[in-house]
Structure 1
Amino acid sequence: MAKRPFDHYFFDYLSLKEAWRLFKIIAEFVEGFETLIKVEPAVSIFGSSRIKEDSPLYQKAYELAKRLVKEGYSVITGGGPGIMEAANRGALEAGGKSVGLNIDLPTEEPPNPYCNIRINFKHFFVRKVMFTKHSIAFVFFPGGYGTLDELFEILTLVQTKKTRPLPLILVERAYWNGLFEWLKDKVLAKGCILPSDLHLLNVFDDPEEVTQYIKSWRRTKVQRAR
């Protein structure tokens, strides 16, 4: 079939459009790297955007963020409502750096008002790089698909040694126990993961336990590096 005279213009247009998209992606990386280098060391906190202010989980995330700030850490979240709002609020009210990495979505609620550092992203994968690169620990409260996506992506990076070993902490045993049982009884039993892979996850109920675990882990790493 012969090419129509205008076909090359169409493909040139597509190439130009993709080139502009590439520049936008690079711009997001540059803004993220330049901004977040100033907030290290930081702890990223994930969880459902649907958790309400009167929930005990909201209070736990708020208290954890306050404790982390008092220990010298910045707090990074996705910048939305729910658990993210609670963590940003705790960090801000404790006088710390409260970071929100927002993503443009058509159905999400507006960003929470408790961030003193905010970056807006259009691309999920750029945003995930920022979480991973600039955090020394990751804390996961109960959440839905978004939280599970972030959990398993970071877990995979640690398992495959594509990133440095970092604490992966789950908060609320009653919520996460079912996941642990499934991983053990189904995934491990089928030989799809190693027994050591289960130990990459740590589960706690109390914000003080989480804070002490992160402090202990980091202290050990610093001592080994000397």
Structure 2
Amino acid sequence: MTAELNLSPERDSARLAAIQAEFAEGFKLLHGLPKAFTVFGSARTPEGSPHYKAGVEVGRLGHEAGYAVITGGGPGAMEAANRGCRLAGGKSVGLGITLEWEQKINQYVNIEMTFRYFFARKMMLVKHSQGFVVLPGGLGTLDELFEVATLVQCMKTGAWPIVLVGGEYWDGLKDWLKNTVLEAGYIDLKDLNMLQVVDDAEAAVDAIANGGRRILSGV
């Protein structure tokens, strides 16, 4: 079914007010949050899978390294990262989205908000983060990955680390970027090198912590 377009000034004004309210609530919710990193990954990641276990470890080690952990608040890889952080006693943030199919905030979140607008949610996932860990995922995860990479490339956010967990999953993508996109001249080598691929949670959190320290110190 094709959605009806309603471009009336009244509807646009109501939409603008709703968008403004989401931004205001998000800013208020996350104001004063300590240093944090965001974890992206699939809502379809099954509990008990290696990717889920990696997410739990990322959340736990992130808290132990002094970070709050931010996710999209859903199931799968997001739940895993929230779970590791929350059970370790950390600040576990979930920024959910209202969808046609039900997707509740997972039970391991202790700071939460649900958004209607994807772009408002994405801004909050980025605004308070000093790094990004990307677990295996599909279209939504790829969207978030390249959104963050574009913001860092264009200097619209801090030059924070972007770490992809799981070489068996991500190496093919990075090879394509190198052999096709870089070769064609559509990105620079520094753009490619923004994306660090590691194989475990410990290396991911180390990359976030060490990369953040280098960036903040200007090294």
Superposed pair shares fold, TM > 0.5: yes
2:128 aligned residue: 134
| 8 Å CA contact retained: 1:40, 1:135 | no
Query: Which residue number corresponds to residue 200 of structure 1?
Result: 194
- Measured against aligned partners, the alpha-carbon deviations of 1:181-215 in whole angstroms (never above 9, x if no partner) come to 11111111111111221111101111111122222
Shift of the alpha carbon at 1:123? Answer: 0.3
2:139 match: 145
1:175 maps to 2:169: yes
Task: Please give the secondary structure, in 2, of the residue aligned with 1:177.
Answer: helix
SS in 2 for 1:170: strand
Separation of aligned partners in 2, 1:175 and 1:183 = 14
Please, which of 160, 174, 178 is the counterpart of residue 184 of structure 1?
A: 178
Partner of 1:8: none
Instruction: Indicate the residue corresponding to 1:45 in structure 2.
Output: 39
* 1:158-181 deviations in Å (ceiling 9; x for gaps): 111122211000000010011011
2:30 aligns with 36
Correspondence list, 1:1-226, <5 A:
14-224=8-218
What's the CA shift for 1:108? 4.5
Secondary structure of residue in 2 paired with 1:43 = strand
Q: Which residue identity does 2:206 align to in structure 1?
A: Q
Equivalent pairs counted in the alignment come to: 214
Say what the alpha-carbon RMSD is for the aligned residues: 1.6
Q: Secondary structure at the match of 2:104?
A: coil
**In 1, distance between residues paired with 2:135 and 2:107?**
20
Q: 1:108 to 1:168 in 2, by over 3 A?
A: farther
The SS at the match of 1:119 is: strand
- What is the letter of the counterpart of residue 54 of structure 1? G
Residue 222 (structure 1) shift: 3.6
Q: 1:224 to 1:189 in 2, by over 3 A?
A: closer
Give the residue type in structure 2 aligned to 1:95.
G
Q: Distance in 1 between matches of 2:62 and 2:198?
A: 15
Residue 128 of structure 2 aligns with an amino acid whose one-letter code is: H
- Secondary structure of residue in 1 paired with 2:8: helix
In terms of mean alpha carbon deviation, does 30-39 or 168-177 score higher?
30-39
Provide Cα deviations, 1:41-68, integer angstroms capped at 9, x if missing partner.
1110010111111101111110111111
Q: TM-score, normalised by structure 1?
A: 0.90
Unpaired runs of 5+ residues, structure 1, are 1-10
Write the distance in 1 (CA, Å) between the matches of 2:149 and 2:217.
24
SS at match of 2:54: helix
Q: Is the 8 A contact 2:74 2:96 kept in 1?
A: yes
Corresponding residue of 2:3 = none
